[in-house]
Amino acid sequence: MAANFLSIGDTVLFLIILLPCIYLFVFAWAAARKENKYPQTAHKHRYAILIPIGTDICEQEYPQELYDLYHYETLSETVHALDPEKYEMAVILGQGSSVPPFLLSSINEVYDAEITAIQLHHIIEPRPTRKLRYQAITEEVNQTIFRQGHIQMGLSSGCSSMDMAVELRWLQENLKSPKSNLAHKLLQQNIFIEYLSQVSVSSPTAHTLSHTVSRRKALSTALEAAIIGQWSYADKLFQRLIPSWKTLLIIIAVLAVATTSYNLFAAVKWWMLLLWLLFTISLAIPDYLIEDKKKRRNPKPVKI
């Protein structure tokens, strides 16, 4: 009797944990598909680039009279001080950001296609320590799955409310304070968030995806959002309800070891699920981080 109860509980638990693993795999696989490209446009829009005090960026390959640089201490105050008649879009960058010279040109192509919210690709650079390399891998896995993978499946990109471009009028109406969750408001209003993986913004620290919605609220709101067709918002709320891929790795590994100790046959499915999740994560790690790791392991010999 006890053995049957244990077997049923093991199967139910496996099916529950299998669901988020399938979710992660689908988006990691989708991220490998060919990206959409926006056509070049002759129409040049006006931009305000907002960067923290003490940070500077390179000159842009864009008409200088069509963009201005503003240093901010409090982002919301600087945003509300901008003239919406002068600028159409605000580009928000974080501390220590380094951007390519084609940043505005790439954003302009997307904005001219009537996309009003754009998330940029953030990378950690330099990565001199093991901790920073681990953070870089973690952030890239999240960006591959929750940004690139989602875009390829027709859903909005995940958003960190930093290293992004947003239409200025909307930003002034919705950025009420430093605690305002821009990602939540964009999705709640059914505004599509594009992701530009080819436009990399580097900084020495990690940026996290914004998750300020409580699990209780996510549970009560997700079904309603799906029913009224807010698919990206419902997806965002679902993400809040499932464990992170790092937590899943720990849970599945512990269950695999524990199950092996009393039922080797039942443990097979857990070990297979663990391998599948590791394969999913490997799909989401970009080549440049793998190449960087190889270079560190095999440094070039120094000629004397």
Is there a single domain that holds both residue 146 and residue 273? no
Q: Of the ranges 39-48, 119-128, 200-209, 234-243, which one carries the lowest mean pLDDT score?
A: 200-209
Distances from the Cα of 303 to the Cαs of 4, 300, in angstroms?
Answer: 68, 9
Residue 222 in any domain: the answer is no
> In terms of pLDDT, which residue wins out, 215 or 76?
76
Is there a single domain that holds both residue 200 and residue 280? no
Q: Of the ranges 91-100, 101-110, 151-160, 216-225, which one carries the lowest mean pLDDT score?
A: 216-225
Is there a single domain that holds both residue 171 and residue 270? no
Is there a single domain that holds both residue 63 and residue 179? yes
| Per-residue confidence (pLDDT) for residue 303, from 0 to 100 | 45
| Per-residue confidence (pLDDT) for residue 255, from 0 to 100 | 94
Which tokens go with 154?
């027709």
Q: Of the ranges 42-46, 102-106, 244-248, 294-298, which one carries the lowest mean pLDDT score?
A: 294-298
Residue 112 in any domain: the answer is yes
Is there a single domain that holds both residue 252 and residue 204? no
What would the pLDDT profile of 71-129 be if each residue is shown by its tens digit? 999 999 999 999 999 999 999 998 888 999 999 999 999 999 999 999 999 999 888 88
Highest mean pLDDT among 34-43, 59-68, 259-268: 59-68
8 Å CB contact between 275 and 16: no
pLDDT class for 33, splitting at 50, 70, 90? confident
Beta strands in the chain (DSSP E): 47-52, 67-72, 89-92, 117-124, 164-167, 194-203
Residue 109 in any domain: the answer is yes
Of 187, 210, 233, which residue sits at a domain end? 210
Q: Is the pLDDT of residue 23 over 70?
A: yes
Percent of the chain with pLDDT over 70: 93
Q: Is the pLDDT of residue 159 over 60?
A: yes
Residue 256 in any domain: the answer is yes
Is there a single domain that holds both residue 258 and residue 173? no
Domains in the chain: how many in total?
A: 2
CATH assignment of the domain containing 171:
3.90.550.10
Is there a single domain that holds both residue 86 and residue 152? yes
3-state secondary structure of 41: coil
pLDDT class for 302, splitting at 50, 70, 90? very low
Residue 41 in any domain: the answer is no
Which tokens go with 173?
């109406």
What length does the chain have?
A: 304
3-state secondary structure of 239: helix
| Per-residue confidence (pLDDT) for residue 209, from 0 to 100 | 62
| Per-residue confidence (pLDDT) for residue 189, from 0 to 100 | 93
Residue 144 in any domain: the answer is yes
Residue 127 in any domain: the answer is yes
Q: Is the pLDDT of residue 279 over 50?
A: yes
Is there a single domain that holds both residue 65 and residue 21? no
| Per-residue confidence (pLDDT) for residue 187, from 0 to 100 | 92
| Per-residue confidence (pLDDT) for residue 292, from 0 to 100 | 61
Domain extent for 124: 47-210
3-state secondary structure of 198: strand
Residue 302 in any domain: the answer is no
pLDDT class for 280, splitting at 50, 70, 90? very high
Is there a single domain that holds both residue 23 and residue 51? no
Is there a single domain that holds both residue 17 and residue 98? no
pLDDT class for 299, splitting at 50, 70, 90? low
Average pLDDT of span 136-144: 94
What would the pLDDT profile of 168-195 be if each residue is shown by its tens digit? 999 999 998 877 888 889 999 999 999 9
Is there a single domain that holds both residue 195 and residue 264? no
The pLDDT mean for the chain works out to 89
Is there a single domain that holds both residue 266 and residue 186? no
Residues 6+ apart with CB under 8 A from 76: 175, 176, 177, 178, 180
> In terms of pLDDT, which residue wins out, 7 or 76?
76
8 Å CB contact between 127 and 291: no
Highest mean pLDDT among 50-54, 114-118, 289-293: 114-118
* Tokens 């408001």, located at residue: 185
What would the pLDDT profile of 113-139 be if each residue is shown by its tens digit? 999 999 999 999 888 888 999 999 999
| Per-residue confidence (pLDDT) for residue 304, from 0 to 100 | 39
